[in-house]
Amino acid sequence: MSLKILSSHLSKVSHKIPLRLVLVVPFVVQIFAAVGLTGYLSFRNGQQAVNDLASQLHREVCDRIIGHLNSYLATPHLLNQILADAAVRGQLQTRSTPSELFLWQQLQSLDSLQGSSLNSVKLLDSVNTIQFGTEQGEYLGAGFERDGSLVIKAADSSTNSDFYTYGTDSQGNRTQLLKVREDYDPRIRPWYKRAVTVEQTVWSPIYVMFSHRMLGITISEPIKDETETLLGVVGTDVLLDNISQFLGSLKIGQTGQTFIIERSGLLVASSTQQQPFYFNDDEAKRLLAANSSDPLMRATAQYLTEEFADLSQIKQPQQLKFSLVHNSNANSENQLLQVAPFQDGRGLDWLIVVVVPESDVIEQITKNTHNTLWLCLGALGLATVLGVFTSRWITSPIFRLSAASRAIANGELEHKVTVKGIKEFRALADSFNQMAQQLQEYFDELEERVEERTLALRLSEQKFALAFRASPNPIAITILADGRYIEINDTFLEVTGYTKEEVINHTSEELNIWANQEDRSRMNQFLAENGEVHNQEFDFRLKSGEVRTGLLSAEIINLGGQDCLLSIINDITERKQVQEAFFESQRTLSTLMSNLPGMAYRGANDENWTMRFVSEGCTELTGYSATDLIDNRRVSYEQLIYLEDKELVRQEIEAAIAQRKPFQLVYRITTFTGKIKWVWEQGEGVFSPEGKLLAIEGFITDITERRQALEALAEKEQYLRLILDNIPQQVFWKDRNLVFLGCNKNWAQAARVENPEAVVGKTDYDLLPSKEIAQQYRAKDLQIMEKNQPEHFIAPKEKLSEDGKKVWLDINKIPIHDPQGNVVGLLGVLEDITLRKEAEEALRVEQEKSERLLLNILPEAIVQRLKQDHWQLEKSNGEALIAEQFDEVTIMFADIVGFTPLSARIAPKEVVNLLNQIFSLFDQLAEKHGLEKIKTIGDAYMVAGGLPIPKENHAAAIANMALDMQQAINQFQVETGENFAIRIGINTGSVIAGVIGIKKFIYDLWGDTVNVASRMESQGEPGKIQVTASVYQRLQDQYLLEERGAIAVKGRGTMNTYWLQGLKK
């Protein structure tokens, strides 16, 4: 009941609402909703766009910087490779004018390359100096001055190791001396040392180049010869200022910056005016980015240092955000930051930093958002006003027509409008309906045409793609502006050897395809003048380095609104080689025919051997002219053949023709003068496709002198063979390739071959037991021939004799020369000296035995003198062999007290053994202190210091040995349990020393000094060391000595003596 009342009420109200209000209110509500939603979405999209735009901006900037760095640093590396190749080939040397010109030309070529390059990288700005330093400390280089002029730089022996800089003329020759820098050694320069250390291509540390007031860096590479010996280092200096210029040219928001730093934080380049270095007391120092005067750069570097404790941790590109507080108003502003690593694989390890204030990115977006909101509000107001105004004039039929119009605009062409009432509205509705019908028919026809055109276009593209891919010739499409490849066919890749990834987005200059820059310049000129090139011959380089010849056709086309170059290459290398070979063969054939030492012919196989053609050598061979022989005009060739040889000639030729094989003959002819000549003929039959003999073609030459020489040579060889086979030596000879040409019987028997003829044609590999031994022999023989010097040596034979013994050979190898002095082979003469070698070995063993025996009874120095003056033994006649006066030596006598009673109560063998043990200890002490044992007498031991080789500390050495002898004898008592002591006497003075005896040599001493030393021992006390005053004078500073007092010495009267007690502490 209530629903009916409400429905009735609304029905009454709706009848009272004006049409104007019905039209305006829904329209305004829709506009308001659309405006509100548009404003909200605009705000949200603006926020998202900030992040997307910042990321995109950072990536684009980083990609451009990385691309620029790769291009910028590629040229120095390419130059370094050129220098390295030249140095290895020996084309690059110091103190060499051609080498200076070579370096100058390399830099000059950069200038010309810059003029023709489509690349934006400035090659001249990147390269400053190319150079070569040697292990001898010499230096040669070429470079640019600040004004762009080319100079030569040198430091070698001609400049006294000073660094000279010369100006150059237009030909690269030195002019005036510009600068001198003292004492320059490239071996201590960082670029040289670093290349030697890492043993490969490497970048030097960045440094400040004083000549240009810019940062520089050097790429260097060590140069070694075939034996891996270091020859020197080549290097290319690169200026880094151009990188800063490039960074400054980049547009990064309104106030954004970019800069490059090393992992240490040192600044490399930046887009600001900030210099990457500064001077402190005229010393250039690198600037840390964290110490930059630019606030944004400084804050960014400090943030990176705080965010990453070690910048080397940054391995991948990083998107970061931080706040920068402005000192002027203390307000903070967000900064959008990206840092990306850059490495080139040769030692460079930089960080690329791009920072943009967030306000730069969001400012325009915020402004656009505000404008959008104001426009939406304006549109809302305007729509409201227009709606009110329109509602006053438009009635319901017009609203329906408007709806019909919107339907047609939306593609609803089948929509029909029905209007009743007013005549004008009905006519308008009919017009709308008719228009809708016509539009429907037009759209149907247009859609059919679009489908037809689309199908045709697809077929055309398929045909083009099929022709492009299937073409047997290389086809490429490049961008005309920068030369980058954007499309290539498979044949291009097959011919050049590159992969598609290596070619796309690279230029022909980067791939080094143009073998001659003149060809490239000529093509560019033709394109500029005519817009196309047809069949232009040029040389191009494959990936493998091979240079081939092709015909280039190219035409400028437009793809997607961009000018491109369509190029087709027809490889004519083989055709050109065939043409050149044909022309060369024609020329060679003509030359050969004119210079043949004989007669070429073409004749008939008849009874007269009728000649149809003979060459100019006919007259020299037969005495007849070619006219006389052709067609038997004066004489037939059959008449010239020696009567006894005619039948043999005919039989041989007929047999060869029957078998269709070439023939070779030696026979005689009678010349015009009646002279008999021996000739050699080679020929063959010429047959038609049906097998019919058409003619005989061949060549005849005079071999009379050769035959006579061969007969004489055979006689000489027979005589030489008799000589070689009857000498005791083994003889062989080889050619230049170390192939055996012959040997005598002795060598053949030693090599275990059947006979000398069996060795011909063999090599060491065939005769020696292993490949390794053969290679050693061949290397030795090649060395002798290359040095062109005979060599004599004695060596054992690789194969043992039949009884298993080593065979020794005395070997002479001599280079064989032709009449011009050229080495054409090797002659070897070997003699078996096994018996002599065995005798020498036996003699050597006996000599060693004799020398060991002498060393047991004489000092080594005396033995050496006896060996050198062995002839004195035969001339001594009973006189002393060696006698010398020594002004100052120290003599020691030692006696074992208590040994005589001991020897009386033990067996003789035990006495000898015990004495041998004690004296062996003393011998070791004498050797330890560098003293000379003279002799032993019973249980007495005599030793001397300062002879036969003078020694300054002879007294101290004797004293040390005496103290050691006391300790040794005490230790010996403990070990053996025997109770005896040692008594020692020492004296210093002059003596006479010499060798006496003929059958039994002995080295002995004479003089008062010896007698006094003996008295010091005999008048001493057991367990003590008694020394004279002369010894005391020499030992008192370093040793403890106690005065004994005056004692009576036989033959000397009263003497003051001392007890040696030990060393002072």
Q: Are residues 566 and 511 in the same domain?
A: yes
| 866 pLDDT above the threshold of 70 | no
Query: Within this chain, do residues 984 and 896 fall inside the same structural domain, yes or no?
Result: yes
Q: Any idea which of 672-681, 781-790, 912-921 has the lowest mean pLDDT?
A: 912-921
What is the tally of structural domains in the chain? 6
457 shares its domain with 483 = no
Q: Would you place residue 681 in the very low, low, confident or very high pLDDT band (cuts 50, 70, 90)?
A: very high
Look up residue 627 and give its amino acid.
T
Q: Is the pLDDT of residue 62 over 50?
A: yes
Phi, psi (deg, nearest 5) at residue 362: -85, -15
Q: Identify the bridge partners of residue 1048 per DSSP, sorted by sequence position.
A: 1054
Name the average pLDDT for the chain. 82
Helix (H) or strand (E) holding 951: none
Q: Hunting for tokens 């000529």 — which residue is that?
A: 522
The predicted structure's pLDDT at residue 878: 46
Q: Is residue 53 part of a domain?
A: no
Same domain, 988 and 866: yes
122: containing domain = 90-242
SS3 85: helix
pLDDT, tens digit, 9 for 90 and up, residues 716-767: 777 777 777 788 888 999 999 999 989 988 888 888 888 888 889 999 898 8
pLDDT at 329 over 60: no
Structure tokens at 883: 């006698």
Query: What interhelical angle do 908-928 and 954-976 show, nearest 10?
Result: 140
Cα torsion for 987, 993, 997, 1003, to the nearest 10°?
60
pLDDT of the residue at 8:
56
Is residue 646 domain-resident?
yes
Instruction: Give tens-digit pLDDT for 461-491.
Output: 565 666 677 678 899 999 988 889 988 888 8
Using the 3D structure, point to which of 769, 803, 838 is the last residue of a domain: 838
Question: Could you tell me if 900 and 1047 lie in one domain?
Answer: yes
Kindly state whether residue 2 falls inside one of the protein's structural domains: no
Q: What are phi and psi of 322, to 5 degrees?
A: -150, 170
Q: Residue 395's pLDDT is what?
A: 57
Q: Assess whether 768 and 910 both reside in one domain.
A: no
Distance, CA of 929 to CA of 1053 (rounded, Å): 33
Band of residue 117 on the pLDDT scale cut at 50, 70, 90: very low
Same domain membership, residue 600 and residue 561: no
Residues 447 and 518 in one domain: no
Give 572-591 pLDDT, tens digit per residue: 888 877 777 777 766 666 56
User: Which residues face 133 on adjacent strands?
Assistant: 139, 233
Looking at the domain assignment, is residue 648 inside a domain? Answer: yes
Interval 957-971 mean pLDDT: 91
Measured CA to CA, the distance from residue 834 to residue 933 in angstroms comes to 43
929-960 b/e (C-beta count within 10 Å ≥ 16 → b): bebbbbebeebbbbbbbbbbeebebbbbbbbb
pLDDT tens-digit series, residues 71-80: 888 888 888 8
Reading the block at residue 6, the tokens are 């409400």
pLDDT at 112: 57
pLDDT at 524 over 80: yes
Query: Are 548 and 689 in a shared domain?
Result: no
The band of 417, judged by pLDDT with boundaries at 50, 70 and 90, is low
pLDDT at 303 over 50: yes
Residues 612 and 565 in one domain: no
Confidence of residue 415 (pLDDT cuts 50, 70, 90): low
844 falls within a domain: no
Of 5 and 823, which is predicted with more confidence?
A: 823
Q: What is the pLDDT of residue 645?
A: 93
Please tell me the predicted confidence (pLDDT) of residue 120: 39
pLDDT of residue 874: 47
The confidence band for 937, taking pLDDT boundaries of 50, 70 and 90, is confident
pLDDT in tens, 209-230: 867 788 899 999 999 988 889 9
Asked whether residue 822 falls in the same domain as residue 963, the answer is: no
- pLDDT higher at 939 or 270: 270
Task: Mark out the alpha helices in 471-572 (DSSP H runs).
Answer: 490-496, 500-503, 508-511, 517-530
What's the confidence (pLDDT) of residue 116?
Answer: 41
User: Does residue 603 form part of some domain?
Assistant: yes
pLDDT at site 882 = 65
Can you tell me the mean pLDDT for 906-924? 83
pLDDT of 402 higher than 80:
no
Instruction: Give the β-pairing of 882-897 and 981-996.
Output: antiparallel
Q: Which comes out higher in pLDDT, residue 688 or 410? A: 688
pTM summary value: 0.38
Least Cα distance to 149 among 163, 164, 168, 173 occurs for 168
pLDDT at residue number 644:
92
Q: Return the percentage of the chain with pLDDT > 70, whole number.
A: 79
CB atoms within 10 A of CB 309: 8
- pLDDT surpassing 80 at residue 631: yes
For residue 608, the domain's CATH number is 3.30.450.20
Residue 332 lies in a domain: no
**Which residues neighbour 18 within 8 Å (Cβ) at sequence distance 6 or greater?**
none
| Range 405-432 average pLDDT | 66
Asked if pLDDT for residue 15 goes beyond 80, the answer is: no
pLDDT range class, residue 1057, cuts 50, 70, 90: very high
Residue 81 lies in a domain: no
Per-residue confidence band for 511, with pLDDT thresholds at 50, 70 and 90: confident
Do 934 and 1042 lie in one domain? The reply is: yes
Least confident of 287-291, 467-471, 561-565: 467-471
Q: Is a pLDDT exceeding 90 seen at residue 782?
A: yes
pLDDT for 118: 37
